[in-house]
Structure 1
Amino acid sequence: MPYVVSGILLAVAIIFPLAVPMYAHADPHLFSFPFFFWYQMLWVPICAILIGICYKLMTTEDKRRRAVLQDQAGRRGRHDAGGEAK
């Protein structure tokens, strides 16, 4: 599930700034900047936040998977050390 969420967040961060016809107009102005420019600049921190969320999701999932693998390896080691037949 973290992979799907990260993929969606990254797609949003890529697609919305690239959808130029959606924001290719001058109005409304913000501090005398046309909409075209301030909309693009608005996406800079938004993309940074979305990428940060993706990074956190992926590192958390990586830690979880590593813990599961170590747990499985630990169980196999204890099973083998117990002298039981394979």
Structure 2
Amino acid sequence: MSNAPEATRAVVTPLRVVIALCLVAPFVALLWVGSYAKTDPVFIGIPFFYWYQMLWVVLSAAMTMTAYRLWQRDRRAARTCHAAGTAHTATAEDGGAVK
């Protein structure tokens, strides 16, 4: 028998889906150029094409920070459950969220 540790499978939880959406949304919003390749509406004299992209700089930073904080919460919960010897799963009672 091998002394190698058992490989654990990644569990897809609602929290991890939110993390993924926070990280993917800026890419989708900015790679879909046709949605913002226009000049109107103008905001304080700046065409839409430019201020939309600059708005996503701020939104991307906020969404990345949110994803990082949620990931920390998920890792902390996993360590707590692992230390207690319980399974790290989401239940219907807590809405599928990891506390």
Judge same fold: TM > 0.5, yes or no.
Answer: yes
Q: CA deviation at 1:63?
A: 0.3
Within the candidate set 48, 51, 57, 1:38 is matched to: 51
CA distance in 1, matches of 2:17, 2:41: 35
How many corresponding residue pairs?
A: 73
The corresponding residue for 2:81 is 68
Unpaired stretches in structure 1, ≥5 consecutive residues: 74-86
Length-normalised TM-score, structure 1? 0.78
Task: Map 1:45-60 to 2 at 5 A.
Answer: 45-60=58-73
Segments of 4+ in structure 1 off by > 4 A? none
Unpaired stretches in structure 2, ≥5 consecutive residues: 1-13, 87-99
1:25-73 CA distances to partner (integer Å, 9 max, x unpaired)? 1111112111100000011111111111111110000000001111129
The corresponding residue for 1:11 is 24
**Percent identity between the aligned chains?**
32
Within the candidate set 21, 30, 54, 2:34 is matched to: 21
Q: Between Structure 1 and Structure 2, which shows a larger proportion of helix residues? A: 1
CA distance in 1, matches of 2:43, 2:31: 21
